[in-house]
Structure 1
Amino acid sequence: MTTEISAEEANKVVAAEAANDDDFKDAVEDEEVENPNVRRPLEYSQEKLFHVMEWRQEEGAPEMIDLIKLANGPEADVEDPEKLTKAKALVYTLNYGSMYWHGLTKDGRPILWVRTNRKPWYPDVDAEVNALIAMADAGIKCMPDGVTDFVCISDASSPPPPNPTFMIKMLKALVKGYPDRLNLLLSAPISSIVQFVMNLLLPLMPGRLASKVVLLDTAGIKPKLSELLMHGEEDIPKFFGGPCDHDEFYPEESYCENRGQGTLKFDWYGMVERLEAAKKEFEESKK
C-alpha cells in the first residue's frame, strides 16, 4: 500500500498542526521537564488537573457518552439538529468497530483494542476524537479499584494511509485529556506505514509517553500477549494467532444490526457490560 502524501509533506503538516496549538506545546513541555522518579508537588498536580478539566469542557467530553444514547434513539425525539448531527457522526465512527474495550491485563488494566484495518481512509477527524473520548471515559469508569491507567493493543496489519491531521489531533487528545492514563501501547506487526507514522509522532511525544510505545513483529506479539493478558494465551485474539474470537462481539459493520431506534450498530452497551464483568472477576480473584 502506498501513502497519499510524501514523508516531507506529512512532516510539514504535522509540524504545523503542533506549532499552532500552544496548549498542546505547553502540555508536552510540562511532561518533558517532569522527572518520573521525583514525586510531583501538589501544586503541579492541581494545575495539571485544572488543565485536563478545562480541556474536557472545551471538547465537550462530559456529553460524549450521552451522545451515543441520543443517536441510539429515534431522531424525532431530538430537538437540537446540531447535537444530533454530532451524535450520529460519533456513532458512525464507533460502527466501524475499529476500537473497543475487551478484557483486562493480569494486573487489572482495561485493554483498548485497535483494529487499523477497519479505519477509514478518509476519517471524520473530529468524530474520531469524540469516539476516543467516549471510549476512554467508559474504560476509566470500569477500572478495578486501585487501577488508574489502561493498555492499548493495536493490530496494525493493514493500516490506512497516514492522515497527519487525524494523527496529531488524536495525539493532542491523549496528551491534553488523558496525560497519565496510558500505561502501554503495543502495536504489531511492524510495517513501513507504522514506521512512517511513528517517525512523525515520536518527536512530538513527551518522553514519558514515547517510552510506553512498543512495536513488535508477528513473532514477538504472541508471547508478549500471553504474558500480559489476564487469562494468558486463552485471551489472545484470532487476529494475533490466538483462540479468542473478538469478531463474535465486535464484527465488521456490515454484519451488525441497529441496536435501537437510531444509527448505533456497534455493541457499546454490551462492551461496557463485558468490561464490568471482567472487572468484577478480577476484583473477586484478589479477595
Structure 2
Amino acid sequence: MGNACFSHCQRPHQHAGTTKEQGAFVSIGSSSTTASETGESYNNIRDGLSADDAAYHDEDLFYDSDAYVWFDAFENFPDEGEASFSLSIPALKMVRTRLKDSFPNDRNFLNDDYIRSMACQAYAKDRNPRRAIETTIEVLSNIMEWRDVQNVSELPHLVSMAAASQAQLQRWKVSQSQLKRAQNLVKFLNTGSVYWHGMTKDGRPILWVRAHRFLLPAAKILLLVQEDENLVDEAQRMALLLLADLGIQHGMPDGISNVCVICHAESLSAPTPNDANKFAAAAAAAATASRSGPILELLTKGYPNRIHQVWITTPVSSTSTMDEWIQMQSPLLPDELAESLIICDDDDDDEEEECQERLAEEVLLNGWEDLPAFLGGPNQDHDHFYPDSSSREGSFLEFDFYGMKERLMEQRMEYEERMRRE
C-alpha cells in the first residue's frame, strides 16, 4: 500500500543494542485477559514503557500470548531477516485515551490507521525505526495543539453560515466579522480550484488542484473579497484546511491514512519564476496550505505523513522551471513530500498520451473512464460538479460542498465493500 505504514510496517531487521527507548515487557497473565484488564491502569503501562532497566534483543524476542504484550510503539515478529512493527491494541488504546482527554472536541481527527502510521515513523536524527510511544503521543499532541490554534474544527461552521438564510443567521447570533470570514471562505471555494473527486487504485481519495483557477489574477481575487491581500491568503488557507479535513475524516477507507494530489496546470504556459513558485506551492499545498502562507509549517505541523503522491501535469514549456523549483525547494520539504512529487508533461501529443496512460494505469481507480475531460479523458463529472462559479455575484455558497462530502463518503463505502468482496 505505498510508502505508508498501516497495520504494520516492514523494516530491515536490526540487531541493535538495548536502550531505554526500546520499551519493556509487561506481564498480563493468561491469554484470556481482556484489554481493559491488562495494565490495571495507564499509569502502570507508562511506567512499564519508560523503565530504564528494560531490556530486549531482536534475536531473542518472540511473542507469547500467554504471558506478555509488547508495550512499545511496535510489536516485533522476526521472520527471515525482516521485522514487522505494529502498534499493539493496548498501546493504541493508551494513545487514544491520552489524546481524548487532552483534546475532547477534536478527538475524531486522528483515526487508528493514522496513529499506526505515525508510530511507524523513524526518529529524525538516527533513523532508528523504534519511535517510543511517548514520542508518538508528543508528536500527535503537537498536531492537535496546532489545530486548536488554527481553529480548524470551526471551519465547517463557517460554511454553514455562508449557506444559511438571514433568519438562521439571526437565530444563531452570527456576528458581522464571523459572517465576513464565512463569505470570504466560500468565495474561494466557489472558484472550484480545489476539490475531492474519485479514488486511486489502492483506495486513496484524490484531491484535484486546477492551477489556472487556483492562481487567479490578483485583481480578480481582491475584487472578490473587496479588501486586501491578507484576506485572500486567509480565505485560501481556510478553504484548504477545510478540504483537507473533509477528505481525511470522510474519504479514507479502512487501512488508509494518506491522500493523492493531482495538480493540473491547464492553460498555463512558460510561467515566470514567481508564477512557477506559486504553482508548485499550490501543488504541494493542496492538502493543507495557502498561496503565500507558511506552507512548510502547515505541512509539517498540521498534516505530516498525509500526502502519498503529488502528480503535477504541466506543459513541457514550464517543466524546466518546475524542475528547478523542486531541486531548490526539496531540501526544505519533509522527506515524504519531496519524494512524492511526480511531474507529468502533456504539452505535445506523445507526452499527453503518456501522461494520460500513466494516470489511468497507475493512479485512477477505474482507469481511463475516470480520466477527466480537461486531461483528454471521457469523464465529464469534474466540470459538471465543480465549475468555476467565482464570476457569479453575491457572497453565497455556489460550490457543491455538501454534495462533494456525500460523494466522498459514498466512494469510500463502495471501495470498502469492493475490498470485502475480493
Give TM-score scaled by structure 1 length.
0.80
Aligned position for 1:98: 193
Q: Specify which structure has the bigger relative contact order, considering alpha-carbon pairs within 8 angstroms and separated by 6 or more residues.
A: 1
Matches of 1:131 and 1:31 in 2, distance apart? 31
- The residue type paired with residue 141 of structure 1 is Q
Matches of 1:103 and 1:240 in 2, distance apart? 15
8 Å CA contact 1:257, 1:265 repeated in 2: no
Rg larger in structure: 2
Give 1:11-22 correspondences, 5 Å limit: none
2:311 pairs, out of 167, 176, 186, with 186
Aligned position for 1:252: 388
Aligned position for 1:128: 236
2:337 pairs, out of 203, 209, 215, with 209
Matches of 1:178 and 1:47 in 2, distance apart? 15
8 Å CA contact 1:68, 1:91 repeated in 2: yes
Deviation at 1:184, TM superposition (A): 0.7
1:138 corresponds to 2:246: yes
Aligned position for 2:164: 73
Tell me, what secondary structure is at the counterpart of 1:70? helix
Work out the number of aligned pairs and report it.
Answer: 255
Change (3 A) 1:182 1:269: same
1:39-59: CA deviations, max 9, x gaps? 432122111111111110111
8 Å CA contact 2:191, 2:388 repeated in 1: yes
Matches of 1:85 and 1:255 in 2, distance apart? 18
Change (3 A) 1:244 1:34: farther
Matches of 1:171 and 1:224 in 2, distance apart? 29
1:44 corresponds to 2:180: no
Change (3 A) 1:58 1:213: same
8 Å CA contact 2:233, 2:293 repeated in 1: no
Aligned position for 2:149: 58
Change (3 A) 1:155 1:32: farther
- The residue type paired with residue 152 of structure 1 is V
Tell me, what secondary structure is at the counterpart of 1:112? strand
Deviation at 1:86, TM superposition (A): 1.2
- The residue type paired with residue 87 of structure 1 is A
Where does the alignment leave 5 or more consecutive residues of structure 1 unmatched?
1-29
- The residue type paired with residue 107 of structure 1 is D
1:279 corresponds to 2:407: no
8 Å CA contact 2:162, 2:179 repeated in 1: yes
Deviation at 1:174, TM superposition (A): 2.1
Deviation at 1:216, TM superposition (A): 1.4
Matches of 2:139 and 2:217 in 1, distance apart? 35
Of 201-210 and 249-258, the range deviating more from structure 2: 249-258
Where does the alignment leave 5 or more consecutive residues of structure 2 unmatched?
1-120, 222-231, 282-289
Matches of 1:36 and 1:149 in 2, distance apart? 21
1:209-257: CA deviations, max 9, x gaps? 2111111111242122112111011101111111111101111116879
Aligned position for 2:374: 239
1:223 corresponds to 2:357: yes
Higher percent of residues as helix? 1
8 Å CA contact 1:222, 1:236 repeated in 2: yes
- The residue type paired with residue 235 of structure 2 is A
Matches of 1:87 and 1:254 in 2, distance apart? 15
Q: Superposition RMSD on alpha carbons, in Å?
A: 2.6
Change (3 A) 1:108 1:55: same
Matches of 2:189 and 2:414 in 1, distance apart? 26
1:174 pairs, out of 270, 277, 299, with 299
8 Å CA contact 2:123, 2:131 repeated in 1: no
Change (3 A) 1:285 1:73: same
- The residue type paired with residue 67 of structure 1 is L
8 Å CA contact 1:99, 1:112 repeated in 2: yes
